[in-house]
Structure 1
Amino acid sequence: MAVEQAEAPLPFRRILVTGADGFVGRHLVPLLATRLPASARIISASRTASAAQGAITFDLTDPAGVARAVAAVEPDLVVHLAAQASIDQSLEEAADTWSINLGGSLALARSLAMTVPDCTVLLASSAEVYGLAFNEGSVTESSVLQPYGPYARSKAAAESMFADVLPKSARLIVARPTNHSGPGQDERFVIPAFAAQIARIERGDEPVLSVGNLDAERDFLHIRDVVAAYLALLMAAPALPHRNLFNIASGQSIQIADILTRLRAMSRIPTSVVQDPRRMRPSEVPRARMNSDALRQVTGWAPAHDINMMLADVMADQRARLG
Structure 2
Amino acid sequence: MRIAVTGADGFIGRYLLPILLAQGHQVAAVSRRAGHLPQPGLSWLQADLLDAGQIRQAMAEAEAECLIHLAWFVEHGRFWTAAENFAWCDATAGLLAAFNEFGGKRAVLAGTCAEYDWNYGYCVEGKTPTVPATLYGKCKDAARQFAEHFCRDNGIEWVWGRIFTPYGPGEPAGRFVPSVLSAMGRGDVLKCSHGRQFRDFLHASDVAAAFAHLAANTPATGVFNIASGEPMRLADIVAICAGLFEAVPAVEFGAVPVAEFDPLMLVGCADKLAATGWAARISIRDGLADYRIKINELKGSE
Say whether the fold is shared (TM-score over 0.5). Answer: yes
Cα distance per residue 1:244-296 (max 9 Å; x no partner): 22122222101111111211221244322246877642344211222122212
Tell me the distance in 1 between the aligned counterparts of 2:51 and 2:7.
15
Tell me the distance in 1 between the aligned counterparts of 2:58 and 2:280.
35
Tell me the distance in 2 between the aligned counterparts of 1:292 and 1:275.
30
Structure-2 residue corresponding to 1:161:
146
| Shift in CA distance, 235/74, structure 1 to aligned 2, threshold 3 Å | closer
Map 1:203-242 to 2 at 5 A.
Answer: 207-237=188-218, 239-240=219-220
More helix by share: 1
SS in 1 for 2:266: coil
Q: Pick from 170, 188, 199 the counterpart of residue 156 of structure 2.
A: 170
Alpha carbons 1:16, 1:44 under 8 Å: kept: yes
Q: Pick from 101, 126, 138 the counterpart of residue 114 of structure 1.
A: 101
Q: How far 1:78 sits from its partner (Å)? A: 0.8
Q: Pick from 278, 282, 287 the counterpart of residue 265 of structure 2.
A: 287
Q: Pick from 118, 133, 144 the counterpart of residue 129 of structure 2.
A: 144
SS in 1 for 2:129: coil
What stretches of structure 2 of length at least 5 have no aligned partner?
none
Structure-2 residue corresponding to 1:28:
16
Alpha carbons 1:133, 1:139 under 8 Å: kept: no
Structure-2 residue corresponding to 1:66:
55
Cα distance per residue 1:95-152 (max 9 Å; x no partner): 113322x122122122123222x421110112221132534x4423332212111221
SS in 2 for 1:251: coil
| Shift in CA distance, 188/156, structure 1 to aligned 2, threshold 3 Å | farther
Query: Aligned-pair RMSD on alpha carbons?
Result: 2.2
Q: How far 1:32 sits from its partner (Å)? A: 0.5
Alpha carbons 1:133, 1:143 under 8 Å: kept: no
Structure-1 residue corresponding to 2:113:
127
Q: How far 1:308 sits from its partner (Å)? A: 0.6
| Shift in CA distance, 278/110, structure 1 to aligned 2, threshold 3 Å | farther
Structure-2 residue corresponding to 1:56:
45
What stretches of structure 1 of length at least 5 have no aligned partner?
1-11, 202-206
SS in 2 for 1:155: helix
Cα distance per residue 1:42-66 (max 9 Å; x no partner): 1111111142312111111111111
Could you tell me the TM-score, scaled by structure 2's length?
Answer: 0.89
Are 1:99 and 2:77 matched, yes or no?
no
Structure-2 residue corresponding to 1:82:
71
The one-letter amino acid paired with 2:296 is R
Q: How far 1:220 sits from its partner (Å)? A: 0.8
Q: How far 1:25 sits from its partner (Å)? A: 0.6
Structure-2 residue corresponding to 1:18:
6
Structure-1 residue corresponding to 2:238:
260
Tell me the distance in 2 between the aligned counterparts of 1:322 and 1:210.
22
| Shift in CA distance, 34/234, structure 1 to aligned 2, threshold 3 Å | same
Tell me the distance in 2 between the aligned counterparts of 1:297 and 1:15.
24
Q: How far 1:76 sits from its partner (Å)? A: 0.8
Cα distance per residue 1:163-188 (max 9 Å; x no partner): 22334311111111221111221223
Q: Which moved more, 1:251-260 or 1:104-113?
A: 104-113
What percentage of aligned pairs have identical amino acids?
26
Tell me the distance in 2 between the aligned counterparts of 1:275 and 1:72.
52
Q: Pick from 160, 163, 173 the counterpart of residue 187 of structure 1.
A: 173
